[in-house]
Structure 1
Amino acid sequence: MGPSLGRGAAVAARRGRRADPREVRRGLRAADRGDVLTTRAIDATVQLPVSAETAFRYLSDPRNRPEWQSSLLSVAVPPDEEPHLGQTWSETTAVGVRPHLETTVFTPFRDWAETGHWRGVTATLALHFTDVPGGCRVHATGEISGQGAWAVPAGAAGLMASRAIAADLRKAGRIMASRT
């Protein structure tokens, strides 16, 4: 784990002596000296066979998510609530995670973003929509962070997130295309 520093491990203090004076290597803790923190970036771009307006309307509505997001079982959002800036909802995933989410950016047909929290894990996702010939391009960016005991699971989820999001967006594109 990490580069070899060319010296042995610190030894415990013997009776009547101080502990080894060498410093603990930096980078093992967050900058505030708190718990270990892991952050993984998300980046995926897909072409969809529908307009940016159609994609934005479908993808920004949390009620549609269980249909196209492979890891989701259900979403709790009022049935008559239209998507908007500040909208909040909760989800239940296939692995039992139940994050609480909020829409943080809502620029119709162009940009949409969310932030989600569950225990020691925080995730952000932003979608940028661009019309292109034959459909639209959706660029997804974000990150998954975990703190303390949640650093390892967040890091593992982050390793797969870009590919999973791209696959889910392509599935959403197929669903939207079949309805037009």
Structure 2
Amino acid sequence: MSGTTGVAAYGVISNIALIAVAVFTGIAQGIQPIISVNYGAGRTGRVWRTYGAALLLGTVLGLLFLALGLLEADGIVGIFNREGNAEMAQIASSGIHLYFLAFLFMGVNIVTTSLFASINCPGPSFTVSILRGLAAVVVFLLILPPALGMDGVWLTIPAAELTTLFVSGIFLYRAKGLENKKIH
């Protein structure tokens, strides 16, 4: 596809993505004790309010990361492109525009994984983690790059996160229904 230049461009994007993942993980780790304590005490209203606040924060930050990528892709790439490689800059900048779409869903998925772990639902927590970090990524890597070339590489993570979001929603719907029956 793009050889070593493409690999360098991917390195730029993945380094920036690690920052977003760290922020989302911080939110998820921050809510875990709050949700666990309230779940154990039977205060499900607090559980869902805490989760809702974390979802809102994750979504807003995801939008900010996406906006930053759309508006400042060249500046972001420039931080990592001291040699001034124009081809790498072009590949990475266009890649940021696609890859950063993942941030719309990533925060929600990471926070939801934490919710499931906090309310003693390890199966959904594990499934969402494996789906977003491995299974869906592998599936989309097999499908998208052959069909879309380099754009398919950049769209793999957003597609995996979006797919995971749907699966998370199903688990969440079930967990909320079970929780209401258990507590009342």
Taking structure 1 as the reference length, the TM-score comes to 0.24
Structure 1 or 2: larger strand share?
A: 1
Taking structure 2 as the reference length, the TM-score comes to 0.24
Structure whose alpha-carbon radius of gyration is higher: 1
Structure 1 or 2: larger helix share?
A: 2
